[in-house]
Amino acid sequence: MEPSYFAHETAVIDEGCTIGTGTKIWHFTHVMKDSVIGEKCNLGQNVVISPGVVLGKNVKVQNNVSIYTGVTCEDDVFLGPSMVFTNVTNPRSAVNRRDQYEKTRVGKGATIGANATIVCGNDIGNYSFIGAGAVVINEVLPYALVVGNPSRQVGWMSEYGQRLKFNENGMATCPESHEDYELKNNVVRKIS
């Protein structure tokens, strides 16, 4: 039976992984056992998906990204070129810490820019936006825009990836989708 996904002839797909319908796996990518890839994902060139990784639906993984054991990406996540995850806070070559992998959750709709680094054990909030080259060492709030090394929050983003400008009443409108957002007690929510 033909698979319901596309894999380039140079891709390596280990036995025991699950790959959703409509997913595309490109050149020199390795998907390891016990990983779960959702429907309609796109894994670019030279990507590594380690055992136990979970990717939701419509996750876009750009070239040269390694997603290590302990990482979960929810639906609609974008991982920019050459961004980095870690899974041990104090790695040493001579010390085996495979039983100490920390978990990292990347929330629905989040974007992680090119060459950013996500230190393990931190939640990346839904629809947050991590700027290119940022080094994330703490939790990132939903809808937050963070940049720099170490990363710091500099604003808020809409679900369409547009910068939100809140007025004195804590209200903002996305310039692209025209959806309204409220900022209250350092929490952003989209208003239906």
Q: Residue 81 sits in which domain range?
A: 6-88+100-157
H helices present in 102-170, as ranges: none
Q: Which tens digit of pLDDT belongs to each residue from 21-50? A: 999 999 999 999 999 999 999 999 999 999
DSSP helix/strand/coil, 116: coil
Q: How far apart are CA 13 and CA 38, in angstroms?
A: 15
Strands 180-184 and 187-191: antiparallel
pTM: 0.96
Same domain, yes or no: 116 and 74: yes
182 and 150, same domain (yes or no): no
Distances (CA, A) of 37 to 59, 60, 116: 9, 11, 22
Q: Are residues 132 and 173 in the same domain?
A: no
The predicted-structure confidence for 141-182, as pLDDT tens digits, reads as follows: 999 999 999 999 999 999 999 999 999 999 999 999 999 999
Distance, in Å, from the CA atom of 138 to the CA atom of 51, rounded to the nearest integer, reads 24
Residues 182, 146: one domain?
no
Residue 104 belongs to a domain: yes
Domain-embedded: residue 95? no
Query: pLDDT (tens digit, 9 = 90+) per residue, 75-92?
Result: 999 999 999 999 999 999
Residues 48 and 138 in one domain: yes
- Tokens describing residue 61: 């993984």
In a domain, 185, yes or no: yes
- Split at pLDDT 50, 70, 90, the class of 63 is very high
Domain count, the chain: 2
What pLDDT, on a 0 to 100 scale, did the predictor assign at position 54?
98
